[in-house]
């Protein structure tokens, strides 16, 4: 049973990677919020790819340990808002899993709720109409299914259907999406990850039709199709990401400074392990007008590592270690991935 769960976790990540590899160009074109920088699909794909690679390298002997390693690796290499939130969700999902018991709906529900809470806690300004909305809906449906005694295979069908409706609702929850009459790209990406999980647990084919009718999926606007000033906010020009060791108090101070300097602030702990100075390792993400504004705050707080700066308004911008075009994931060997 333990080995079956371990194989299932690996197959899910492979299936999610394959789904996002196929969907990435459309997700990039659909990307409008928080900024229309045309990289949501690429960022989510890079995040899941890092998770899959870490899971395959993991020395863990059970699903919970392997998924913890996968989540930590994903968070350490996550890119962009959606990629970082997806990584945070993977870390949260792994937290309540038990190492040596059959997978239950209650366990899935606890993991989904932990993922929802972790993602919201990481954000300075949680917004509905995003990945958060889908995470919360998935957790709520799983909790109801667990209370009703439903098995995981049955429950996950309801989760995917509820998640699809939640994605549809994002169009009316954020002004840029409402104006463009499209749904949120990050929410669609999470829907694909959840469908990959349903396909693996039920041992049925991935349903590509789950996203087919979503507004903007086939012909969503690219980065040039949305005015970044249209909702009245000043649009930051660069994304800054790094890892840094800080005490929780210092992390709170850094968060306040980054909120004043820019927006889309995410601070998420890479692990709960504390060093001799009482510091945790954090992953940091922020959008600012000038990179030096964020870097100055980071250097004042500690010693940032792996600092990455990308131009949000360059449609061709790529992170240095993003997968090359055409480097699609291989389908899961059992045929249940996409």
Residue labelled with tokens 């913890």? 68
Q: Which helix (H) or strand (E) holds 282?
A: strand 280-288
Predicted structure pTM score: 0.79
Q: Is residue 159 within 8 Å of residue 193, measured between CB atoms? A: no
Angstrom distance (rounded) from CA 144 to CA 136: 12
- pLDDT (0 to 100) of residue 337: 39
Task: Quote the DSSP letter at residue 197.
Answer: H
Q: Regarding beta strands 305-311 and 238-246, do their DSSP bridges make them parallel or antiparallel, or are they unpaired?
A: antiparallel
**241-276: b or e for each residue (b if 16 or more CB lie within 10 Å)?**
bbbbbbbeebbeebbebbeebbbbbbbbbbeeeeee
- pLDDT (0 to 100) of residue 333: 37
Q: Is residue 97 within 8 Å of residue 64, measured between CB atoms? A: yes
- pLDDT (0 to 100) of residue 335: 41
Residue labelled with tokens 């500690």? 302
For the chain, list the domains and their CATH numbers. 2-208 (1.25.40.340), 238-311 (3.30.70)
- pLDDT (0 to 100) of residue 244: 94
Angstrom distance (rounded) from CA 134 to CA 119: 11
Angstrom distance (rounded) from CA 138 to CA 278: 35
Show pLDDT as tens, one digit a residue, over the chain (338 residues). 446 667 888 999 999 999 999 999 999 888 877 666 667 888 899 999 999 999 999 887 778 788 888 988 888 877 778 888 899 898 888 888 777 667 889 999 999 999 999 899 888 888 899 999 999 999 999 999 999 999 999 999 999 999 999 999 999 998 989 988 999 999 999 999 999 999 999 999 999 999 998 998 866 544 334 444 444 444 558 889 999 999 988 999 999 999 899 888 989 887 777 888 889 889 999 999 999 999 999 999 999 998 999 887 665 444 444 544 444 444 443 444 34
- pLDDT (0 to 100) of residue 75: 85
- DSSP conformation letters of 233-261: PPPP-EEEEEEEEE-HHHHHHHHHHHHHH
- pLDDT (0 to 100) of residue 235: 54
């Amino acid at each position: 049973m333990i080995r079956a769960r371990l194989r299932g976790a690996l197959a899910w990540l492979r299936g999610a990677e394959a789904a996002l590899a196929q969907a990435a160009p459309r997700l990039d074109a659909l990307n409008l919020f928080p900024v229309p920088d045309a990289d949501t699909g690429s960022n989510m794909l890079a995040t899941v790819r890092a998770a899959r690679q870490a899971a395959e390298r993991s020395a863990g002997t059970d699903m919970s340990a392997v998924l913890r390693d996968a989540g930590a690796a994903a968070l350490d290499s996550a890119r962009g808002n959606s990629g970082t939130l997806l990584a945070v969700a993977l870390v949260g999902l792994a937290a309540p899993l038990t190492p040596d018991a059959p997978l239950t709906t209650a366990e899935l529900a606890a993991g989904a709720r932990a993922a929802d809470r972790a993602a919201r806690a990481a954000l300075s300004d949680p917004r509905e109409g995003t990945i958060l909305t889908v995470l919360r809906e998935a957790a709520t449906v799983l909790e109801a299914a667990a209370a009703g005694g439903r098995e995981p295979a049955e429950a996950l069908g309801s989760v995917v259907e509820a998640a699809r409706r939640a994605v549809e609702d994002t169009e009316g929850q954020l002004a840029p999406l409402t104006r463009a009459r499209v749904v949120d790209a990050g929410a669609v990406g999470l829907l694909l990850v959840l469908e990959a999980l349903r396909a693996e647990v039920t041992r049925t084919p991935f349903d590509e039709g789950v996203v087919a009718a979503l507004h903007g999926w086939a012909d969503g606007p690219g980065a040039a199709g949305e005015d970044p000033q249209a909702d009245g906010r000043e649009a930051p020009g660069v994304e800054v990401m790094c890892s840094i060791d800080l005490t929780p108090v210092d992390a709170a101070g850094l968060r306040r400074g980054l909120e004043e300097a820019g927006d889309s602030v995410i601070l998420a702990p890479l692990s709960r392990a504390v060093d001799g100075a009482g510091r945790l390792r954090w992953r940091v993400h922020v959008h600012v007008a000038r990179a030096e504004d964020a870097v100055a705050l980071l250097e004042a707080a500690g010693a940032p590592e792996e600092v990455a700066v990308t131009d949000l308004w360059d449609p061709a911008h790529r992170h240095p270690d993003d997968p090359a075009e055409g480097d699609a994931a291989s389908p899961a060997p059992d045929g249940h991935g996409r």
